[in-house]
Chains A and B, each alone.
Chain A
């Protein structure tokens, strides 16, 4: 039972990491939309994600569903605590998806500009809000003894969560630019690649800020390192992948760079997971109201069933997702099916 809870804590982390790597690049592509100067370049960016964004977003639905199934208490606490924030997040996701779908359907400059703007703005807001939510869970939420949130919406906008939000935006921006380096060519590609350095430096600065604030203001997040010293490998790998990212993009080795940014995303989520364990939603100010993964988990039977579901389904998903990404690999070619 204890080990099943830990396995599912890990698996939920993996689901969110895969989601962040995949939807991260298409959020990033959306953020970089302003780099396109003419209709052709705009179409290149939109069509670089048009065939895949939807499949990418299903990882979020899966991670959310798995959280519900494996840790119903955590799902209930988190989703009701972030009520207003999630209303805005859903609003933004809706706008983003429909912008991609609607923009090309009418040959009218005003129509297109409206959906381009909403596509771009929502591509910034969605990861910002996700980051803020993640930051709040890491820092701890004001929970009562029934594990219900007792704070306010404004209370969610503390400095640490906001900084996690900005960090997420910077990281996805950089990750998306690297993705687009494989999907675009010539001038547009150069213009996009010029954004890599700035965003990776911005990320590095945010990262330092986060580390410092954890070190001085929230020691709880570091307790696992003193108990399990082998965990130090996670921050080491994360920082090294940041260094590799800076180095590779400076040298123009973009396969290495996007691998580094992907590992960096995994690293960030792993750091978050380590800071939480064995809690899944830490409570403020009464730490006794926290939800531990053992209390929040479903029954042993359900966790086993979920393992079967994931074991049967996810490998298949990975195979055909890989296959479809391969079909659309390389620089975008515009044809009559394109948006």
Chain B
């Protein structure tokens, strides 16, 4: 009971819970729409070229599903923009000079493009030429990708802040921009952006794959679903292999720029010594060891520089109060990596069956493909948890602590109220989304 009382009166903890909740629920949808927008452009393009009605049918089906998913992303996304000011007023005052501009740019360059042209893509088919319709699909795709760019710029600046100076403002200090290109292209932007975009493509591709596999399992001669699989299965393998490379580059980036975070990823304690690479394990914060683990000696050094004896900065180089929640970070990071390899495995397997011409007859692999959407979804969520929880206790790495960032005027009760409201409506929305999606998919199965 005492613990419960402490939790419900802890503004900082509640504000973090609120952010984690709304951000992770939001992040179910944009990756799907980013990946799906690419697929829609592809089939709209194929339709424009071949004039084959099967592409038209496929495009109509997926555009409608896109719209349903998109609206979920929009409504949960507005909450994100509002809550920087609502829950994190001191962060907003301190970093708004740098952090606000990418958010505004995201709206101006990305959201408008995506939203306005989605209206045409959805409702315009009988009013505009096929070429213009293709162009609308292209603009929706461009908008979706641009929004990823700007939000990653903003987030990467919180991970690896550059291009600013601290200036006195009123009674306190704030960060002001000193070098725009250093803010935009801060040390982690490029690798994190490519990692996120590929993760989103995988989410979209497996979304198509899962639904199509389900349709084929239900009804064998489902030719639009077969076509979708033929397009998406090879893409699935290619993108998952690219992600392996980009993920690796991303880890090297963390090694260079955020050594404390890397130490938490890998459960590496010793101050400056070769670090073991754990395949799995359980981090014991008190005893400062990893239990029940299986590891490759010197594996971290081997991966980042090819030298297993490379000394790696460990957790003990930092004061213990500055350590993030070690198991949350360690486990989510390892779940992400394990899923990444599982995805590659499934990609190889399904491509093999596709080339052999046996994919549509092999039930067990169709069943696996039907579940494939969970892979990138869980990996994306886990990756973000590792990235954000791994940055703690900093809200801006090395510059501002999360404890200094929340809104002092917002009481714990108010945050509890908002957590309750958003949890309720999000659960309701999720139920409706799944219900409508299932209805749409099975309805298509009967025609």
**Residues of chain A at the chain B interface (Cβ within 8 Å):** 47, 50-52, 54-55, 57-58, 60-62, 64-70, 72-73, 75-84, 86-88, 90-91, 93-95, 97-98, 100-102, 105-106, 145-150, 153, 295, 298-299, 301-302, 305-306, 309-310, 313-314, 317, 320-321, 324, 327-328, 335, 337-338
Contact = CB atoms under 8 A, between A and B. Distances in A.
B414 A324 contact: no
A251 B316 CA distance: 80
Of the listed residues A67, A72, A146, A309, the one surrounded by the most CB atoms of chain B closer than 10 A to its CB is A72
A58 B176 CA distance: 27
A136 to B, nearest CB: 14
B145 to A, nearest CB: 16
A64 B422 CA distance: 20
Nearest to A51: B119
A80 B409 contact: yes
Contacts of B117: 320, 324
Contacts of A75: 84-85, 92, 96, 100
B111 A61 contact: yes
Contacts of A58: 107, 111-112, 115-116
B142 interface: no
A196 B334 CA distance: 62
Closest 6 CB pairs of A and B: A72-B96, A79-B85, A69-B100, A51-B119, A65-B104, A313-B108
B107 A62 contact: yes
Given A52-B119, A306-B104, A328-B127, A98 B176 contact: no
Given A90-B82, A91-B421, A146-B171, A309 B124 contact: no
Of the listed residues B90, B119, B180, B421, the one surrounded by the most CB atoms of chain A closer than 10 A to its CB is B119
Contact of B89 (A66, A148, A314): A148
A97 B67 CA distance: 12
A61 B107 contact: yes
B106 interface: yes
Contacts of A298: 96-97, 100, 176
Given A65-B107, A75-B85, A313-B109, A148 B408 contact: yes
B342 interface: no
B51 interface: no
Contacts of B417: 84, 87
Contacts of A57: 74, 78, 115
A79 B425 contact: no
A187 B134 CA distance: 38
Nearest to A73: B93
B97 A72 contact: yes
Contacts of A54: 71, 74, 115-116, 118-119
Contacts of B108: 62, 65, 309-310, 313-314, 317
Contacts of A50: 119, 123
A39 to B, nearest CB: 18
Contacts of B128: 327
Given A73-B93, A76-B407, 7 more contacts: A70-B100, A76-B96, A80-B86, A87-B86, A98-B432, A149-B409, A338-B123
Interface of B: 67-68, 71-72, 74-76, 78-79, 81-87, 89-90, 92-93, 95-101, 103-109, 111-113, 115-120, 122-128, 167, 170-171, 174, 176-178, 180, 407-410, 414, 417-418, 421-422, 425, 429, 432, 436, 439-440
Tell me if A's interface is mostly helix, strand, loop or mixed: helix
A302 B177 contact: yes
B435 to A, nearest CB: 8
Contacts of B109: 309, 313
Nearest to B174: A72
B177 A65 contact: no
Given A80-B85, A93-B75, A337-B123, A106 B436 contact: yes
Contacts of A149: 409
A337 B104 CA distance: 32
14 contacts: A61-B111, A72-B92, A72-B97, A72-B174, A78-B85, A87-B86, A98-B72, A100-B71, A150-B409, A309-B104, A313-B105, A313-B109, A313-B112, A321-B112
B100 A80 contact: no
B71 A98 contact: yes
Of the listed residues B82, B120, B167, B407, the one surrounded by the most CB atoms of chain A closer than 10 A to its CB is B82
Contacts of B414: 83-84, 153
A55 B119 contact: yes
A95 B428 CA distance: 10
A236 B98 CA distance: 40
Nearest to B79: A90
B68 A305 contact: no
B162 to A, nearest CB: 15
Contact of A98 (B84, B178, B418, B429): B429
